[in-house]
Amino acid sequence: MVDDDEAPLIYGVEFQARALCAVSGVQDDDTVRFLVGTQSIKFENQVHFLEYDEESGMLGKSIYAHRAGEIWRMASSPNDHRHFATIYQTIEDSNVVSKCTVWQIPIDSTNDESTSAIIDDSSNQLHQPLRKRFDLNVPNSNIIDIEWETNGERIGTISETNIYIWNIEQHDSPQILSTGSIDSKSGALHKLSCCRWNPHISTNQLATTLGPHIRAWDLRSMKCSFSIDNAHPPYVRDIDYNPNRQYHLMTCGDDCRVKFWDVRKPNECLKILTDHSHWVWSARYNRFHDQLIVTSSSDTRVILFNIASLSSEPYG
């Protein structure tokens, strides 16, 4: 957190940006890394790889050309900080389509022993292109969200009506392991919009948002394992599992609220936060201290909460 007398570190991007994610897959240092993806219709889009050194207060950056299209979502590999996925929109046959690709940051452009090289924005240097690893697309299906399994061996993607689980151990030829579709009993009047792996129970469960509802799927049978109806009318925006408490789930949505659930008792939430005054778009647990959660909203605020009563160490 920033002290009152300490100036915040501000980083600006050239174009509008909607996608941001923390970078995982580095075990041997304390550098904070983020990826930012731009969303421009007229100009070539960019991926910004940022590295912040807390000791020196210095920010390293590398900027890469993302020529595939405007970026809507990003996800970093949990195993390798150079690998990440983007969901982007492009034009095919006069139609807007949403696709997913896994990319690799060029090996010679990042250095594990120091921060990334800083690019002089005043120069005319062209941004280095990303290396394409593989696509995760299905014919006649728009991919709208992606989630890496916690061990990095599988990836889950969703379209508006389907779930796809991919085996990516062979990076040159990812294979679909299983698929699932929503039906009338699962709420076919609504569309899938977000997915999250359950880090517990051998990572064999994927939770999804479905309009105002939440559905979790057992990936071994592709059947619904639990559901929470009308969690956030009219729309659930994000979900996240507590990394330490197996049955605890956090959700947020267009009712301006953040809610905490025990999925064994889905009819009543454990706690409700009402600090935001507009749609809550994102909510995340701190992976090391699960009493800390951060939320962002279109009321222009990002809020860090300390919810000790629901943490794995409520008295710690």
Q: 208 with 226: CB under 8 angstroms?
A: no
Q: How confident is the model at residue 276 (pLDDT cuts 50, 70, 90)?
A: very high
Which candidate, 157, 210, 146, 211, places its Cα nearest to that of 179? 157
Half-sphere exposure of 282 (CA within 13 A, CB side): 15
| Selected residue with higher pLDDT from 244 and 107 | 244
What tens digit of pLDDT does each residue of 31-50 get?
889 999 999 988 999 999 99
> For residues 17 and 166, what is the distance between their CA atoms, to the nearest angstrom?
28
- Give every CB contact of residue 312 below 8 A, 6+ residues apart in sequence: 242, 244, 245, 290
Helices marked H in the chain — which ranges?
A: none
**46-85 per-position pLDDT tens digit:** 999 999 888 888 889 999 999 999 999 999 999 899 999 9
What is the rounded average pLDDT of the residues 206-228?
95
Q: Is the peptide bond between 234 and the residue preceding it cis, with omega within 30 degrees of 0? A: yes
Closest C-alpha among 201, 206, 254 to residue 232:
254
| β-strand partners of 251 | 239, 259
Closest of 13, 4, 124 to residue 59, by C-alpha: 13
pTM of the model: 0.87
Phi, psi (5° rounding) for residue 81?
A: -70, -10
